[in-house]
Amino acid sequence: MKSASLFAPFQLGGQELANRVVMAPMTRTRTSPGDVPNELMAKYYGQRASAGLIISEATDVAPHSKGYLWTPGIYNDEQVRGWKLVTDSVHRNGGKIFQQIWHVGRMSHTSLMPDGQQPWGVTDEQAVGSDVFAHGSDGRLTFVRASKPRQIGTEEMPALLDDFERAFRNAGEAGFDGIELHAANGYLFEQFMNSTLNTRTDHYGGQNFENRTRFLLEVVDLAAGIFGAGRIGIRLSPFGHYNSIPADPHGEDTFFYLCRELDRRGVGYIHLLYQLLPSGNMEQVTRFEETNLPDAFVKKVREEFRGGIIWCGSFSRESAEQALATGMVDMIAFGRPFVGNPDLVARFKNNWPLVEADRSAYYTRNGEIGFTDFPNFNPHSAEVD
């Protein structure tokens, strides 16, 4: 199979990406009140526009999809205006940006939900053992146990789908080049797909993978109706157990059925979390024993799905190039390296050193600090020995 360099262009949904270095979605909590994106975020994304593709931080489809404080939304006009600042900034700097859309499902807390209601779950089973960032009982901000959810009623599904459709229209209006659905890491789409968790008896549940993937595929179709299927990506974390996702004896069958359905629709890409993520914080992959997706599995993904494939998780320039050389993957996404290196592509290209950003800056409200204050590498001021 033909392999390409990290710096070769890639065709995605009728648009050319300048290279195969993708900026992974990263929640950075710098929104303005009302979950509105702002000039500071526009600056941050604009600084990173030399990535072939930027995937935005996870964005709420509706107030009831929220699971972390200060994540942005895409459900009202003010948010659309805020995101327009972001997409304009990226486009002015020659980049492309997809919006990552999520619904956290049961991974929320009553203090984050509208009117203090229970989080919305595929069933009413609580994510025992998993925390979300919210208000503790003393009102202070802290990690608290995800609240007990209530099962989304079958009769509520059409309105939920309408929420997604509104979000996609808004994303189009805000100038995004496409959409990535966050169907990984134990949020609502994965809650529906997991056969152990999804014990529903309606046509969205049970021991039938057509039913368990129905919600995701209905949402894919809505997004495709607005952006075209080639500009839709799906993020997935097969074998992952993050956010209390239980082991799924039908996981692989469901996953490959989904690959075939996405292929049939001409979906732009599948974004795989290449490193298995057992638990813990979503970015702390390297703290665990590193286990990658099995070779036979990634080979089969390639056979079943003809669109683009992205892998993500602890890649360096070298391991990314090795991955591309296998021919199993088309683009590599980098998360943490983009925090401290806005010019990551130029640094990779020129073998310039990388800055490692301090984790304490990831989710703060400190404005520019740890967010937009990382400079591009200046080869003229670098020491030469």
Ligand X SMILES: Cc1cc2nc3c(=O)[nH]c(=O)nc-3n(C[C@H](O)[C@H](O)[C@H](O)COP(=O)(O)O)c2cc1C
Task: Give the binding site for ligand X (CB under 6 A).
Answer: 24-27, 57-58, 100, 182, 184, 235, 273, 282-283, 285, 312-315, 334-337, 362
DSSP β-ladder status, 232-236 and 269-273: parallel
Instruction: Pick the closer one to ligand X by CB: 297 or 363.
Output: 363
316 beta partners? none
Q: Report the C-alpha gap between 377 and 71 in whole angstroms.
A: 29
Task: Compute the least distance from the CB of residue 271 to ligand X, in Å.
Answer: 8
Active-site option among 44, 45, 68, 187? 187
Instruction: Pick the closer one to ligand X by CB: 51 or 151.
Output: 51
Instruction: Pick the closer one to ligand X by CB: 209 or 315.
Output: 315
Task: Compute the least distance from the CB of residue 2 to ligand X, in Å.
Answer: 25
59 beta partners? 101
Task: Compute the least distance from the CB of residue 159 to ligand X, in Å.
Answer: 25
At 365, the amino acid letter reads R
Task: Compute the least distance from the CB of residue 43 to ligand X, in Å.
Answer: 17
Task: Compute the least distance from the CB of residue 189 to ligand X, in Å.
Answer: 12
Instruction: Pick the closer one to ligand X by CB: 24 or 113.
Output: 24
Identify whether 269 is a catalytic site residue. no
Task: Compute the least distance from the CB of residue 26 to ligand X, in Å.
Answer: 4
Task: Compute the least distance from the CB of residue 115 to ligand X, in Å.
Answer: 25
Reported as half-sphere exposure (CB side, CA atoms, 13 A), residue 345 has a value of: 24
Name every residue whose Cβ is closer than 8 Å to that of residue 97 and which is 6 or more positions away in sequence.
Answer: 45, 53, 54, 55, 56, 86, 87, 90, 91, 176, 177
Q: Report the C-alpha gap between 366 and 98 in whole angstroms.
A: 25
Name every residue whose Cβ is closer than 8 Å to that of residue 17 and which is 6 or more positions away in sequence.
Answer: 9, 10, 11, 52, 53, 96, 331
Q: Report the C-alpha gap between 316 and 304 in whole angstroms.
A: 27
132 three-state secondary structure: strand
212 three-state secondary structure: helix
Q: Which residue is nearest to ligand X (CB)?
A: 335
CB 338 within 8 A of CB 51: yes
Name every residue whose Cβ is closer than 8 Å to that of residue 322 and which is 6 or more positions away in sequence.
Answer: none
Q: Where are the alpha helices (DSSP H) in the chain?
A: 39-47, 77-92, 157-173, 188-193, 209-212, 214-227, 251-265, 295-304, 317-325, 336-340, 344-350
Instruction: Pick the closer one to ligand X by CB: 157 or 355.
Output: 355
Instruction: Pick the closer one to ligand X by CB: 337 or 342.
Output: 337
Show the tokens assigned to 285.
């992959």
333 beta partners? 22, 312
Q: Report the C-alpha gap between 209 and 235 in whole angstroms.
A: 18
Instruction: Pick the closer one to ligand X by CB: 96 or 235.
Output: 235
Catalytic residue numbers read 187
